[in-house]
Amino acid sequence: MHKNRIRVKTKHRLKDESYVLYWMQHTQRLRGNFALEAAISYANKIQKPLKLLFVLTPNFKDANLRHYAFMLDGVQDVASQCEALNIDFCLEVGEFEAVLKDYLNAASLLVLDDAYMPFMVDVKKKITAYADGLNVPVIQVFSDTIVPVDQASQKCEYSARTIRKKLHQQVDAFLAEASLSKVDVGTSQAKPVDIDALLKKIDIDRSVLPSKYFKGGETEAYKRLDDYLECCLKDYHDSSDPGKDVTSKLSPYLHFGQISPIDMYQMISTYIDTYPEAVEALIEQLLVRRELAFNFVTYCEGFDRFETMTYGWAYETMAVHRDDRRTYLYSEEDYIAAKTHDVYFNAAMIEMVETGFMHNTMRMYWGKKIIEWSEDYETAYAMILKLNNRYFIDGRDPVSYASVAWLFGRHDRAWQSREIFGKLRYMNDKGLKRKYDMDRYLKRMEDVKSDSDS
């Protein structure tokens, strides 16, 4: 493991207590988990058992049954693998701080994993401060970006162009794979996770049903990656076509930390001689575009507010076109029911509502249409984020926030001015029909809708 993946949060000596505690929250997997590697190493160094703790918090902001069900698939997967490594897996339902305080009283060391979104960054700061008061040493180990965010850059980068070289200069140094050994002391006490019982027990938003198209978990994530590389990588040139359906669909697994981006990079790279253009394009998405989004939420204060999420030129052009006439105005109910005049938008909404996913080309088109059909830009931004976070399994993610901001000019450039959009990038249905097999996309979404109605 590269030493720059590790942050020492409190400077205390290892305590002679009952166990080493690894709080797994963001990195919900065993494979490719550097925080777990560090926790096992320290447990064996001081000959203590290792407790792996996962805290399930009811009513987490913007989360609903769809998100909880997918996440618990992954937690169940983790629990089932702990016995082989002699790890004591613990699942607790409650508020993060209250649960962690109970476990910290007997901890020799606390190991934390990644945190990027403000709420979880703040929670981990509070828990670290509590541990500090108990003289418990705390380290945080980052596994969910290829290059740790603060190593790639110490400022908010303007675009992919400004961060690309910085990432490529460092990537090789951070490609070592996590190495997991068995814990020496103690015996696994992991119990099977009864997902159905847990979901019935906890108080959560049940308005959005689990997706029938995505099963969560590390095992499923790596299987999907294997299948994609074997069957679809050769067709990467068609990946932007919604009708062809040859994307990896791994973003939900990346969001919940159920697959390692380092492993993905390594596995994709093995095809460089066979499909060089496809591999380079995939690495651009996985390394540059994805980590630009993590840079955005880390260094752009107010990344999640309309007033502060994009550039001056974008606000200026929106101000000029604020009073432009909108031919169509739609409500949230119209969107959810897929009742607009645009068949492609309606199909995209079916994909979102029913599956929890949307092809990336359609995500861009979908967002641009909501801008076009809203009474003002603030309303559009709020609506896009609300639907994004509610229905997408990978919503509430750095990439989601960067993608929504991109609709309003972030990480983009000024284009030729036009009504409503001004110099913001514009998309229309004619462009979709000209470039892609949209009839095929419509047929797929008809099938999805029929399946959900049956």
pLDDT at 23: 98
> Pseudo-torsion of CA 153, 157, 159, 163, nearest 10°?
-10
State residue 186's pLDDT score.
Answer: 83
**Nearest-angstrom CA–CA distance, 22 and 129:** 16
For the chain, percent of residues with pLDDT exceeding 90? 95
The average pLDDT across 352-377 equals: 98
What's the pLDDT band for 177 if we cut at 50, 70, 90?
Answer: confident
Among the residue ranges 26-30, 173-177, 185-189, 307-311, the one predicted with the least confidence is 185-189
Report yes or no: 114 and 27 within 8 Å, Cβ to Cβ.
yes
Average pLDDT over residues 432-438: 97
| Residues in CB range of 132: below 8 A, 6 or more apart | 9, 10, 12, 138
Q: What is the pLDDT of residue 193?
A: 83
Range list of β-strands (E), 122-254: 138-141
Is pLDDT above 90 for 113?
A: yes
Sign of CA dihedral 116, 63, 404, 253: positive
Residue-level pLDDT at 190: 67
Residue 116 has pLDDT above 70, yes or no: yes
pLDDT tier, 12 (very low <50, low <70, confident <90, very high otherwise):
very high
Q: Are 449 and 354 in contact (CB under 8 A)?
A: yes
Instruction: Grade residue 27 by pLDDT with cuts at 50, 70 and 90.
Output: very high
Mean of the pLDDT values across residues 126-149? 98
CA gap 383, 345 in Å, rounded: 15
Q: What is the dihedral of CA 429, 435, 436, 439, to 10 degrees?
A: 50
CA distance 32 to 211: 26
3-state secondary structure of 89: strand
Measured CA distances, 400 to 71, 290, 360, 388 (Å): 18, 10, 11, 8
| Alpha-carbon gap, residue 329 to 58, rounded angstroms | 35
pLDDT band at 402 (very low <50, low <70, confident <90, very high): very high
**Cα angle vertex 413, ends 407, 419, to 5°?**
65
Gap between the Cα atoms of 143 and 262, Å rounded? 8
The span from the CA of 164 to the CA of 157, in Å, is 10
Other beta carbons within 10 angstroms of residue 415's beta carbon come to: 14
Instruction: Give residue-wise pLDDT tens across range 262-296.
Output: 999 999 999 999 999 999 999 999 999 999 999 99
251/364 Cα distance (integer angstroms):
16
Query: Which residues lie below 8 Å from residue 351, measured CB to CB, with a gap of 6+?
Result: 357, 358, 359, 362, 445, 448
Which domains can be identified in the chain, with CATH numbers? 3-143 (3.40.50.620), 145-181+218-299 (1.25.40.80), 306-453 (1.10.579.10)
State mean pLDDT over 37-58: 97
Confidence of residue 192 (pLDDT cuts 50, 70, 90): confident
DSSP structural state of residue 216: -
Residue 453 has pLDDT above 90, yes or no: no
SS3 377: helix
Q: How far apart are CA 140 and CA 120, in angstroms?
A: 13
Pairing of strands 19-23, 138-141: unpaired
- pLDDT for the residue numbered 302: 96
Length of the chain counted residue by residue: 454
The burial class, CB within 10 Å (0-12 / 13-18 / 19+), for 16 is exposed
φ, ψ at 145 (rounded to 5°): -130, 155
The per-residue b/e assignment along 246-277, b for 16 or more CB within 10 angstroms, e otherwise, is bbbbbbbbbbbbbbbbbbbbeebeebeeebee
Q: What order do you get walking across the sheet with 50-56 strand by strand?
A: 6-10, 138-141, 107-112, 19-23, 50-56, 88-93
Across the chain, mean pLDDT equals 96
Query: pLDDT tens-digit profile of 82-103?
Result: 999 999 999 999 999 999 999 9
Closest CA to 159 of 317, 369, 300: 300
Contact 88, 186 (CB under 8 A): yes
Give backbone dihedrals phi and psi of 38, rounded to 5 degrees, phi first: -65, -40
